[in-house]
A and B are shown apart, each in its own frame.
Chain A
Amino acid sequence: MPYDPVMVAPMRREMVEMGAKELTTAAEVEKFLSQKGGTTLVFINSVCGCAAGSARPGLRMAFQNEHRPERFATVFAGQDVEAVQKVRSYLPDIPPSSPSAVLFKDGKVVHFVPRHQIEGRDAASVAYNFVTAFDEYCTIGV
């Protein structure tokens, strides 16, 4: 059963405030990911206190980096079920995980941050993971 929308609202807002486009339907995901050129980050948000609590601040820190993805979107696990399933359909060989994030470059997956690389880590450590990938794959700042 999905969490109370009121409870997750601040977690959604946190992502939107950092510039993520919120995708709530499969059609929105498909449209967003149909833009294959350049770099795109999709963050699968979660209520999980063990991981998401440091994932969102980590992403916020990472987006202060000189190099960032050109497009940034988010879906919410356990809330926007069909949107999350649609994102996962682009990752057939990668196990489901939330929170997690995937970086696409020219439509191909180039970096994936699964939940277990976030759990128990502070925001700076999570940010470092993203920044390393941004520096490698994102040559243009937003």
Chain B
Amino acid sequence: MGTFHADKGELHGITVVVETHGPEVYVGRCDEERSDGIVLLDADRHVDGEGGRSNAEYLVRAAKFGVFPNHRMLLVPRAEIASVRRLGDL
């Protein structure tokens, strides 16, 4: 198993959950871990309580089916990141 871009970090190509110190949580395919943050592709952002769903409820569904890619690419700033986990491990 492997990727064509091993220099982008061990999470490159892996769908991750990025939890923040605030109410936002991000799910997307990790492209690159950089000093200023983590770059996600085909990502979605959920704010706790948005649409009547807590972050925990949002992640339960994300773990089962994935997420709709509402952002082609986004950078989650390093200072906001509380944790990064593989969605497949939830």
Main SS at interface, chain A? loop
Q: Which residue of A lies closest to B88 (CB)?
A: A116
Interface members, chain B 55-71 (any A CB < 8 Å): 63-69
Main SS at interface, chain B? loop
Q: Give the distance in Å from the alpha carbon of A53 to the alpha carbon of B64 in the complex.
A: 21
Q: Give the distance in Å from the alpha carbon of A110 to the alpha carbon of B48 in the complex.
A: 29
State whether B4 touches A116 (Cβ < 8 A). no
Q: Specify which of A49, A53, A94 is in contact with B66 (CB 8 Å cutoff).
A: A94
Q: How many interface residues does A have (CB within 8 Å)? A: 21
For B1-13 the 0/1 string (1 means CB < 8 A from A) is 1111000000011
Chain B positions within 8 Å of A115 at CB level = 15, 66
State whether B3 touches A120 (Cβ < 8 A). no
The reply to whether the CB of A80 lies closer than 8 angstroms to some CB of chain B is no
Q: Give the distance in Å from the alpha carbon of A112 to the alpha carbon of B63 in the complex.
A: 11
Q: Give the distance in Å from the alpha carbon of A94 to the alpha carbon of B4 in the complex.
A: 28
State whether B3 touches A50 (Cβ < 8 A). yes
Q: Give the distance in Å from the alpha carbon of A53 to the alpha carbon of B69 in the complex.
A: 23
Q: Given contacts A112-B65, A120-B14, are A49 and B88 in contact (CB under 8 A)?
A: no
Q: Specify which of A112, A114, A116, A122 is in contact with B1 (CB 8 Å cutoff).
A: A122
State whether A49 touches B65 (Cβ < 8 A). no
For A69-95 the 0/1 string (1 means CB < 8 A from B) is 000000000000000000000000111
B residues at A contact (CB < 8 Å):
1-4, 12-15, 63-69, 86-88
For the complex of A and B, list the 9 residue pairs with the smallest distance between their C-beta atoms, beginning with the closest. Answer: A50-B13, A116-B15, A114-B66, A95-B66, A116-B87, A116-B88, A95-B68, A97-B66, A49-B3
